[in-house]
Amino acid sequence: MQRIGAALDEFLEGNHGDPMLRHAEWSSALAGPLPAEGIGASEVIAELERIVIPNGARMSEPEFWGWITAGPSTVPTVASLAATVASPQRYTLTSFNHLEELSLDWLGELCSLAPHMKGVYSSGGSVANLVALGAARQWALEQVGIDPAAQGCGSREIALYTSNEAHHTILRSAGVLGIGRNNVRQIPTDDHQRLDVRALAATLAKDLSEGIVPIAVSATAGTTNTGAVDPLREAGELCREHGVWFHVDGAYGLPGILDERVRPLYDGLELADSVIVDPHKWLGAPVGIAATYVRDRSILHRAFTQEPAAYLEGSFGDPSDIRVSVDSMGIPYADFGVELSSPARGVVVWSILRELGRKGVAARVEHDNDLARHAASRARESDRLELLAEPTLSICCLRYRTEQIIDLDQFNATLFRRLVQETPYLPSSTVVDGKFGLRPCFINGRTSTGHVDGFLDAVVRIGDELAAQPH
C-alpha cells in the first residue's frame, strides 16, 4: 500500500504528461495473452507503479476542465478504500449502512431539500435519473389504474417533457423505461438556454387534450452545456396545476444553491417530486456516486422492488429463528433502485461533509463560480474573445474571434485541437446557439485564477498565430 500511495502522490504532481502521446509505448507493455501462471503480488504492484498509474487520466491536473468530474481529494479516496475493505456491500446493521442514510440526509439538507425527501445512492447521474423517472412512471400510471412495474405501460399514450438543453440521459431513461425516446417532448429554450415554460405549457395542454398521460416534466438545475438553471418555480407550479410529476436534474448544479449570488435561481425546488445530485461532480467524490431523492420512497419500492428469493429474504429477520443468518439487512436500498449488489457509497459522502462542512463546500462552489466569472470578464474586455453565454455557475463558454475569418466555427475547431495538443489546458468543445466554442467547466479544486489566465492567454496566442496564416 505504501508503494502505491507513493506512486499516486507522484502522479498527482502532474509531471507525467499526456498518456495519449505515449499510447504505443504503454499499450505494448500491457499487451499479451492470458498468463498461464501468475507473476505474484509484488510484481503486479510494480507494474501498477511503473506502467499503469503514470499513464492514467489527467482529471486531477488543475488545467483539466473538460468533464464535470475531477480527481477526488484525499479524504473521500481513503473513505472509498475503507468501504472497499470493511464493507464491500452496503447492507446489514453496520456503521457503513448507518452512514448511507445519514449522509443522504446531510446531503439533502446541504442542498436545501425538505426533510421528507428521502434518497438512494447509485453509480452516477445516468442511473439516478433512471431511478427518479422510474418512480415518476410508476406514480403517473398508477393514477390511471396501471401498475407499470407489474403490468408494463399498457396501451395508454405517454410522454415525458424536458428542454432541448437537458442531459441526454433523460432520453436514454425514456428508452430503458419503456416511455420511448420518441415520446420525449424536447421543449425549446429561451435566450439564456433555460426551459421555455410557455412552450412547455402549450405542449402539455395539447397532449392532455388528446388523452396522453404525462409521465413527468424534467427541469435542469445546472445544464451540462452552459450551467443554466431552468425556471423551477414556474415549471413546478405548472406541474402542480396539472397533477404532473416534477423532476429536477441537479446532477451537476444542485450544490450551486450554496452560492448566495445564484441561490434565488433555485426558488421552487421545494415543488420537486424527485431530485438528483452527483457527489462525484462538485463535491469531489470518486466517480461512481449519485443520489436520487423522492418525496415518498414507497413509490421507489413499488417501482423497483424485487420478487422474493428464498436465499435472500429468508436469511434475515427474527433472530430467534434458527434459519436466520443475519438479524437485519438494515434499510433495504436494493428495493429502491436497480442495484442489488452495491458498494457502501454513503461513507464517502459523509467523509466529505464531515471534513468540509457546509461552509467548506459553499466556499468551493463560490470559488469555482468565481473562476467562470473571471473568464467571462476577461472575454468581455478582449477584442479577440467572444463570450457565448453569460456564466450562471462554473461553466464559461467562449471562443476566439476576428473579422479576418469568415468561418469562425471551423477556425475555433482548429484552435481547439492545437490547444489540447500543445498546452496543458483541456476544456471541452461545445455549440451554443449554433456557435462552436470552448467550454471549460471549473470544478477542479486544484484550479486557480492563474490557470484560467494562462488558458485564455493560450487561446489568444494560438488564435493570433492561426489568423496570421494565409487563408
Q: In the prediction, which pLDDT does 313 show?
A: 54
pLDDT given at position 20: 77
Cβ proximity of 221 and 269 under 8 Å = yes
The Cα-based distances of 317 to 245, 342, 344, 455 in angstroms read 35, 21, 21, 59
Domain 75-353 listed as CATH 3.40.640.10: yes
d(CA 192, CA 224) in angstroms, rounded, equals 14
| Tally of CB atoms within 10 A around 312 | 12
CA torsion sign for 227, 293, 116, 273 is: positive
In the sheet with 397-400, reading across from the earlier edge strand, the strands are 385-389, 397-400, 435-439, 428-432
Q: Residue 89: what pLDDT?
A: 82
pLDDT for the residue 11: 77
pLDDT in tens, the chain (471 residues): 778 778 777 777 767 777 777 888 888 888 889 999 999 999 999 988 888 888 888 788 888 888 888 888 889 998 998 998 888 888 777 888 889 999 999 999 999 999 999 999 999 999 999 999 999 999 999 999 999 998 888 889 999 999 999 999 999 999 999 999 999 999 999 999 999 999 999 999 999 999 999 999 999 999 999 999 999 999 999 999 999 999 999 999 999 999 999 999 999 999 999 999 999 999 999 999 999 999 999 999 999 987 666 555 554 554 444 433 345 667 888 888 888 888 889 999 999 999 999 999 999 999 999 999 999 999 999 999 999 999 999 999 999 999 888 899 999 999 999 999 999 999 999 999 999 999 999 999 899 999 999 999 999 999 999 998 876
Q: Provide the CATH topology of domain 358-468.
A: Aspartate Aminotransferase, domain 1 (3.90.1150)
d(CA 415, CA 315): 61
Cell numbers at residue 370, please?
468565481
Q: For the chain, give every residue range classified as CATH 3.90.1150.10.
A: 358-468
Check residue 322 and give its pLDDT.
Answer: 41
Neighbours of 405 (CB within 10 A): 16
- Residue 250's Cβ-side half-sphere holds a number of Cα atoms within 13 Å equal to 30
Burial of 190 (0-12, 13-18, 19+ CB in 10 A): middle
φ and ψ of 389, to 5 deg: -160, 135
CA distance 290 to 251: 8
**Bridge partner residues of 213 (DSSP):** 158
Return residue ranges of the chain for CATH 3.40.640.10. 75-353
As a dihedral over the C-alpha atoms of residue 290, residue 296, residue 297, residue 303, rounded to 10 degrees, the angle is -100
Residue 253 CA to chain centroid, in angstroms?
A: 9
The C-alpha angle 90, 96, 97, rounded to 5 degrees, equals: 55
- pLDDT of 310 reads 58
* 445 Cβ contact list (under 8 Å, min separation 6): 70, 73, 284, 364
Rounded to two decimals, the pTM is 0.91
